[in-house]
Amino acid sequence: MAALFVRSALCAQRQQAHLPVVARLLTSTTAARRATKTPKGSSAAPLAASATTNTARMHLPSFSNEELAEMVENRKVSVHKLETLLEDTQRAVDVRRMVTQRALAKDGNIKNADTAMDDLPHGEFDYRGFYDSIHGTNCEAVIGYMPVPVGVVGPLVVNGQTFRVPMATTEGALLASTNRGCRAITMSDGATSVILKNGMTRAPLVRVPSVAYAAEMKAWIESPENKQALTNAFNSTTRFGRLQDIDVRIAGRNVYVRFACHCGDAMGMNMVTKGTVEALALLNEHFPEAQMIALSGNVCSDKKAAAINWVEGRGRSVVCETILKKNVVENLLHTTVDDMIFVNQNKNLIGSAVAGSLGGFNAHAANIVAALFIATGNDPAQVIESSQCITVLEKEGEDLHMSVSMPSIEIGTVGGGTSLPAQAAALKMLGCQGANREATGANADTLAHVVASSVLAGEISLIAALATNDLLKAHIDLNRKTSSPAEQAQEAVASNTSSAAATGHPSATTTRGMHTSSVVGHAITFGHPSTGGPLNARAASSSAEQAIYYAPGTRLSTFAASGPALPHSVSSSAASADEYGSDGPMLPVP
C-alpha cells in the first residue's frame, strides 16, 4: 500500500505544495506509475528493486496531521493502517481522533461534537483529578489505574442515526471484526432496534413460618390494590425510578419478591435496592412474622447466569435486526448467505444446545458488551447477563435477515462509573451522556440500541470469518505482535511496491482460508459507501479468490493438503525467551 505514496523527486521537493493534498497525492502517484511503466512482457525488475524506487519513495510522515486526516477522509489512506504507515503510534492516534471528531460533527448526531472526545485520555492524563473523582464513589484502597486501549468502530447506522462506537479491549481483532460488521450493516441500509421491556430487578429473600403463610403473602402482593400500595412505597424513594412489576416465587418457606423497576437513565441497582427496602417495610406491617433474610435472594438475578433473566428479562430487553444484502455478504464478508445461515444454525443454535447453554445462542456477544461496558463506565460484572443473546439468521429473498435478541441488557448513562471523565466522553461520542432532560430514560435507551446493534455487527463478522475459516488467521495477525510498527512499515513498503510495479495499484496481502492471496487495489477501495466509497475490490479481483474460498463442509484433508499459511512449527526445546519472556521448561508430553 505504501506504493500509493510513492512520489516523484519533484513532488518530494514540494514543488506542488500549492495543490490540495489529494491532488498532489494523485499527481505524484500517477507520476510514479508513469516512471515505472514497463512494456508488456518486459522482464524489467520490480519497482522495489529498481533505482527509481529508492529516490521516488515518499513516506506518509512528511504530511501534516491535517493533510493525513484529509487523505483518510478521501479514502486515499486506510485509517486502519496509520500506525504502520506513519511508523508512529501516537501520531496515528492523533490523526484517527481528528478524523473521528470531524466525522462526529459531520454526522450531526450529537451536541458539541468538537469537544465530545476531549476527556478521553490519549496522552497526558490528569491522574490527580482522576483520584479526586473516584474517591468515595468508585473504588477503595486505590493504588493506581489500569490503562485499557479504546478504539472506535463505525459508522453504524441504527434507527436512522449514525454512531461512532467506542470500545475498550485488549483483544486484538475485536474492533477490526466489529468494524467490518458495522460496515456490512450500514451498507445494507442500517439496523432497526426495539426495546420490548424495561425493568431492573431486585428480589429479596423473605422467610415465613409456613407454606400457607407464603401463599397468603403472594396473594396479598398480587392483589391490584396492595400492588399499588407497594408501588407507591417503592417509588417514594426515587425521583426517577418507577416500579413496573412484582413477581413472587415460592420455594418451601422462602418467598422471593422480584421487584422490577424502570430506572430512567440509570442502570439502577442501587436505586431498585433502595425502593425494595421501603416496599418491604410496608409488607412487613401486614406480615409481621415474615423475616427478611437477604436483601438479594438471587432470584434477581444479578451478576450470575440465570434462566430467569433469559426468560423474563432484566434491564432492557432489546431486539435488533438488519437485512444484509447478498452482494455485501459476498463482497465484503467473502462468503454466502447460505453458508452464514449454515454456520449459525449448527454453531450458535445446535452447538449451544449441545453445550446446555443459558442464553448463549450467539458467537461472541460478550466480547462487544464487555468492550462497550468498560468504555462507557457500566458495571463489567453485569456482562454475564447483559450478553445473553440469540442470533437468528434467515433467508430474505436472496438476502440475509439477521437479528439478535438480548433480553437483559443492564446499562445506564448516569450513576456508577458513567460520570467519570473518560467514560463520560465515550458516552458523549454516542450522544447519550448523563440524564436525558426531555425524556427520562431516553439516553439509556440509546445506549441499549447501540449495544444491541454493535453485538449484531460482531455476530455478522465472526460468523462470516468462521464460514471462510479466517478466525485463526485474523487472531494471529491482529492478536500477536510479530514485529514493530517500523518493521511492519518496511514490510508494507516492500510488498506493496513490488505489487505496484505490476499493476500500478497498491495492494494488500491477505490470507483467506489456508491460502494467501494478493488483493489488488485494496488500499484505494476501502471506504464506507455511506461516504461514497466503493465495495471492497476483493470479490471483483478474484478468480484466485474462488480457489481459496472454503465453504463450510470443506473436507479437513483439503485444508491439510493446501499447505499452511500460519506459523505452526514449535521447537522441541525453548532455547531462548519468547515475546512473553517465557523460556521455562515445556510441559512433559503425556
Ligand X SMILES: CC(C)(COP(=O)([O-])OP(=O)([O-])OC[C@H]1O[C@@H](n2cnc3c(N)ncnc32)[C@H](O)[C@@H]1OP(=O)([O-])[O-])[C@@H](O)C(=O)NCCC(=O)NCCSC(=O)C[C@@](C)(O)CC(=O)[O-]
Ligand Y SMILES: NC(=O)C1=CN([C@@H]2O[C@H](COP(=O)(O)OP(=O)(O)OC[C@H]3O[C@@H](n4cnc5c(N)ncnc54)[C@H](OP(=O)(O)O)[C@@H]3O)[C@@H](O)[C@H]2O)C=CC1
Shortest CB 262 distance to ligand Y, Å: 9
Question: Dihedral angle at the C-alpha atoms of 358, 265, 379, 315, nearest 10 degrees?
Answer: -10
Q: Nearest to residue 451, comparing CAs of 362, 366, 342? A: 366
* Stretch near ligand Y under the rule CB under 6 A, chosen from 236-244, 329-337, 394-402, 446-454: 236-244
Taking the CA atoms of the chain, what radius of gyration do you get in angstroms?
28
Q: Which three cell numbers stand for residue 57?
A: 519513495
Shortest CB 84 distance to ligand X, Å: 10
388 binds ligand X (CB under 6 A): no
Would you give the distance in Å from CA 131 to the centre of its chain? 28
User: Out of ligand X, ligand Y, none, which partner does residue 164 contact, by CB within 5 to 8 A per kind?
Assistant: none
User: Out of ligand X, ligand Y, none, which partner does residue 238 contact, by CB within 5 to 8 A per kind?
Assistant: ligand Y
Shortest CB 415 distance to ligand Y, Å: 2
**Nearer to ligand Y (CB atom), residue 378 or residue 499:** 378
Q: Which of residues 260-319 bind ligand X (CB under 6 A)?
A: none
Shortest CB 300 distance to ligand Y, Å: 9
Q: Which three cell numbers stand for residue 41?
A: 512482457
* Stretch near ligand X under the rule CB under 6 A, chosen from 96-104, 362-370, 426-434, 441-449: 362-370
Q: Which helix (DSSP H) or strand (DSSP E) does residue 478 occupy?
A: helix 471-479
Question: Does the annotation count 303 as an active-site position?
Answer: yes
- Is 161 in contact with 168 (CB distance < 8 Å)? no
* Stretch near ligand X under the rule CB under 6 A, chosen from 177-185, 274-282, 290-298, 408-416: 177-185
| Distance (Å) of CA 311 to CA 246, 301, 317, 388, 389 | 16, 12, 10, 10, 11
Other CB atoms within a 10 A radius of the CB of residue 245 amount to 15
Distance, CA of 534 to CA of 526 (rounded, Å): 7
Would you call 21 helix, strand, or coil by DSSP? helix
Shortest CB 459 distance to ligand X, Å: 9
Shortest CB 525 distance to ligand X, Å: 8
Would you call 380 helix, strand, or coil by DSSP? helix
- Is 148 in contact with 168 (CB distance < 8 Å)? yes
* Stretch near ligand X under the rule CB under 6 A, chosen from 175-183, 398-406, 544-552, 562-570: 175-183
Would you call 312 helix, strand, or coil by DSSP? helix
270 binds ligand Y (CB under 6 A): yes
Which one of residues 344, 510, 517, 542 is an interface residue with ligand X (CB under 6 A)? 510
233 binds ligand Y (CB under 6 A): no
95 binds ligand X (CB under 6 A): no
Residue type, 29: T
- Bridge partner list, 467: none
474 binds ligand X (CB under 6 A): yes
239 binds ligand Y (CB under 6 A): yes
Among the options 70, 247, 379, 399, which is catalytic? 379
Q: Which of residues 388-427 bind ligand Y (CB under 6 A)?
A: 412, 414-416
Which one of residues 166, 504, 527, 552 is an interface residue with ligand X (CB under 6 A)? 527
201 binds ligand X (CB under 6 A): no
Question: Does the annotation count 396 as an active-site position?
Answer: no
Q: Nearest to residue 467, comparing CAs of 554, 560, 368? A: 554
* Residue for grid cell 442501587: 270
Dump the DSSP string for 266-332: B--HHHHHHHHHHHHHHHHHH-TT-EEEES--SSS--SS--HHHHHH--EEEEEEEEEE-HHHHHHT
User: Out of ligand X, ligand Y, none, which partner does residue 177 contact, by CB within 5 to 8 A per kind?
Assistant: ligand X
Q: Angle at CA 445, nearest 5°, toward 441 and 447? A: 120
Question: Does the annotation count 475 as an active-site position?
Answer: yes
Q: Nearest to residue 237, comparing CAs of 214, 266, 217? A: 266
Which one of residues 73, 94, 107, 302 is an interface residue with ligand Y (CB under 6 A)? 302
Question: Positive or negative CA dihedral for 173, 426, 531, 328?
Answer: positive
Dump the DSSP string for 175-203: HHHHHHHHHHHHHTT-BEEEEEEEEEEE-
What are the backbone angles phi and psi of residue 180, rounded to the nearest 5°?
A: -60, -40
Shortest CB 86 distance to ligand X, Å: 14
**Nearer to ligand X (CB atom), residue 312 or residue 470:** 470
User: Out of ligand Y, ligand X, none, which partner does residue 116 contact, by CB within 5 to 8 A per kind?
Assistant: none
Which one of residues 240, 330, 534, 565 is an interface residue with ligand Y (CB under 6 A)? 240
User: Out of ligand Y, ligand X, none, which partner does residue 555 contact, by CB within 5 to 8 A per kind?
Assistant: none
Surface-to-core class of residue 321, CB atoms within 10 Å of its CB (0-12 exposed, 13-18 middle, 19+ buried)? middle
Shortest CB 298 distance to ligand X, Å: 28
264 binds ligand Y (CB under 6 A): yes
Q: Which helix (DSSP H) or strand (DSSP E) does residue 390 occupy?
A: strand 389-396
Other CB atoms within a 10 A radius of the CB of residue 224 amount to 7
User: Out of ligand X, ligand Y, none, which partner does residue 247 contact, by CB within 5 to 8 A per kind?
Assistant: none
* Stretch near ligand Y under the rule CB under 6 A, chosen from 77-85, 149-157, 232-240, 462-470: 232-240
Which one of residues 358, 471, 539, 544 is an interface residue with ligand X (CB under 6 A)? 471
User: Out of ligand X, ligand Y, none, which partner does residue 87 contact, by CB within 5 to 8 A per kind?
Assistant: none
- Is 15 in contact with 70 (CB distance < 8 Å)? no
**Nearer to ligand Y (CB atom), residue 253 or residue 303:** 303
Shortest CB 132 distance to ligand Y, Å: 17
- Is 332 in contact with 187 (CB distance < 8 Å)? yes
Would you give the distance in Å from CA 439 to the centre of its chain? 27
- Bridge partner list, 193: 320
User: Out of ligand Y, ligand X, none, which partner does residue 268 contact, by CB within 5 to 8 A per kind?
Assistant: ligand Y
Among the options 475, 477, 491, 528, which is catalytic? 475
User: Out of ligand Y, ligand X, none, which partner does residue 360 contact, by CB within 5 to 8 A per kind?
Assistant: none
- Helix 174-187 with 442-467: angle, nearest 10 deg: 100
Which one of residues 175, 271, 328, 432 is an interface residue with ligand X (CB under 6 A)? 175
Q: Which helix (DSSP H) or strand (DSSP E) does residue 250 occupy?
A: strand 242-251
Q: Which residues bind ligand X (CB under 6 A)?
A: 78, 80, 173-177, 179-180, 183, 334, 363-364, 367, 461-462, 465, 470-471, 474, 510, 526-527, 536
Catalytic residues: 171, 303, 379, 475
Q: Which residues bind ligand Y (CB under 6 A)?
A: 238-241, 263-271, 273, 302, 379, 412, 414-416, 435, 440
